[in-house]
């Protein structure tokens, strides 16, 4: 007979739990036979005492097995995906999925909504008129087969244990636990039936893991646990001390992604991170033998227009406009008010409070303060100047898109304070920091 309090006690006292106990606890949690208080106590015990690799593997697999597991064995190529730990101006998924698909991979990308100051891929896709981000499984499979990729939201039957555990972690200050983050991410990805997974683990003032060593620890944990669970996984650590793209919001990031895919405009940091992740995906999926050949293959898919074509087929297949790629500016919502954020002194952009940029988007209505809040897809911030840019006094460092003058004024104040200047040009760094593999 399961005694949840005994399992909680053992973990509270720092003991190692065996797989059977972890599985029994998660099964009881899924069936509703234990209370929220017991789940919270279990999460807090793990928060303070951690988990060994085998415990984290058992927790991940138990959460995966709490719901459906997709089967992509009928695909003519490998099923691969990418997960990001979240950032600002991070629209990589919208670009990466069609690049990988254009190179022969199949990308059933199950994404999430915005969390805190970070944007959500699903919220961005919802800014496309008619796009069905929550399709049934038949349509999901059809689009993956025909377009090569589909970016959708998590269904109710994929890792439902994670939904309950996360909702309790969110209100009990136990989110920032590496074993629990690891199990949460991997349980969903394992239930998606992937052949390979690539992680974009961010560090810096706009990331959840602000310190590099914490980001490394998380990457190493996920890679090791994924290996124990039988999923080929690598991680790329990337810098989030400034927005990745020059746009932050929903529709504005979709427009930025379309411009990137078509070659109208490509932000250099966004390109570096996207191509690094694409190379990892292609090597992990055995579609390229070296990272150099994989990078060349990804760049060719981008420059030839094949990736843009894949994106267009995916959008149309999931209910969006058939001419979206060529006419994105006409289909995306536009905020009625724009205000420039002007520099009050000349100098080089020496620092950017990236988290503040994300918070400004949220307060404009582009994110959620409460889970039930609606999203205003039109609002956001564009023309963000990067670190190292030389700005004259009175020149704009960003452009705020708002629903009202008062919203715009408040956002302008926050964005203005987020930029720091110096007379000396700062050293810029490669946004791709390092790779973590088994």
Active site residues: 81-84, 121, 169, 184, 188-189
Q: What is the edge-to-edge ordering of all strands in the sheet holding 396-402?
A: 248-249, 380-382, 396-402, 337-342
Which residues are within 8 A (CB) of 21 and not within 5 positions of it... i.e. 6 or more apart? 7, 10
Gyration radius of the chain over CA positions: 22
CA separation for the pair 303, 283 (Å, rounded): 20
- With beta carbons less than 8 A apart as the criterion, state whether 255 and 94 touch: no
Task: Name the burial class of residue 365, with classes exposed (0-12), middle (13-18) and buried (19+) by CB atoms within 10 angstroms of its CB.
Answer: buried
Residue whose structure tokens are 């039936």: 193
- With beta carbons less than 8 A apart as the criterion, state whether 352 and 156 touch: no
CA nearest to 28, candidates 184, 180, 159, 161: 161
CA separation for the pair 401, 412 (Å, rounded): 10
Number of helices (H) and strands (E) in the chain: give both, helices first: 17, 13
CA nearest to 384, candidates 89, 96, 64: 89
- In this structure, is the dihedral angle defined by the CA atoms of residues 263, 86, 316 and 333, taken in order, positive or negative? negative
Residue whose structure tokens are 């950017």: 352
Which residues are within 8 A (CB) of 325 and not within 5 positions of it... i.e. 6 or more apart? 258, 261, 262, 308, 309, 311, 312, 315
Task: Name the burial class of residue 345, with classes exposed (0-12), middle (13-18) and buried (19+) by CB atoms within 10 angstroms of its CB.
Answer: exposed
CA nearest to 398, candidates 413, 272, 93, 273: 413
Phi then psi for residue 279, to 5 deg, are -60, -40
């Amino acid at each position: 007979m399961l005694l949840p309090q005994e399992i909680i006690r053992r973990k509270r006292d720092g003991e190692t739990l065996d797989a059977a106990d972890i599985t029994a606890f998660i099964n009881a949690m899924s069936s509703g036979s234990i209370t929220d208080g017991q789940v919270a106590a279990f999460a807090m015990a793990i928060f303070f005492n951690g988990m060994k690799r085998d415990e984290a593997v058992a927790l991940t697999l138990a959460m995966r097995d709490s719901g459906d597991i997709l089967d992509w064995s009928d695909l003519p190529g490998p099923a691969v995906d990418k997960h990001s730990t979240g950032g600002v101006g991070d629209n990589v998924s919208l670009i990466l999925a069609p690049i990988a698909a254009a190179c022969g991979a199949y990308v059933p990308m199950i994404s999430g909504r915005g969390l805190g100051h970070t944007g959500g891929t699903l919220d961005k896709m919802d800014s496309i008129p008619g796009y069905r981000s929550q399709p049934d499984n038949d349509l999901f499979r059809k689009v993956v087969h025909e377009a090569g990729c589909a970016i959708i939201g998590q269904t109710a039957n994929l890792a439902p244990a994670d939904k309950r555990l996360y909702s309790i972690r969110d209100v009990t200050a136990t989110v920032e636990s590496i074993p629990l983050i690891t199990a949460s991410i991997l349980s969903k990805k394992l239930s998606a039936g992937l052949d390979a997974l690539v992680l974009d683990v961010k560090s810096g003032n706009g990331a959840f893991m602000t310190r590099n060593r914490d980001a490394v620890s998380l990457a190493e944990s996920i890679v090791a646990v994924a290996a124990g669970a039988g999923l080929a996984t690598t991680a790329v650590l990337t810098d989030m001390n400034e927005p990745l793209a020059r746009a932050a919001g929903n529709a504005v990031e979709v427009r930025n992604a379309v411009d990137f895919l078509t070659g109208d405009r490509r932000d250099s940091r966004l390109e570096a991170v996207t191509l690094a992740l694409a190379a990892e995906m292609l090597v992990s999926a055995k579609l390229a033998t070296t990272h150099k050949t994989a990078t060349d293959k990804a760049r060719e898919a981008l420059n030839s227009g094949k990736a843009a074509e894949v994106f267009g087929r995916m959008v149309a297949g999931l209910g969006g406009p058939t001419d979206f790629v060529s006419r994105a500016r006409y289909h995306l919502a536009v905020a009625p008010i724009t205000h420039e954020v002007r520099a009050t002194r000349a100098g080089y952009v020496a620092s950017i409070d990236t988290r503040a940029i994300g918070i400004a988007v949220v307060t404009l209505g582009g994110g959620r303060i409460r889970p039930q809040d609606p999203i205003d897809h039109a609002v956001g911030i564009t023309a963000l100047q990067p670190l190292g840019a030389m700005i004259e006094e009175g020149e704009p460092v960003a452009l705020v898109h708002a629903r009202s003058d008062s919203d715009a004024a408040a956002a302008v104040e926050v964005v203005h304070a987020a930029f720091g200047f110096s007379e000396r040009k700062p050293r810029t760094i490669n946004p791709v920091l390092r790779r973590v593999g088994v």
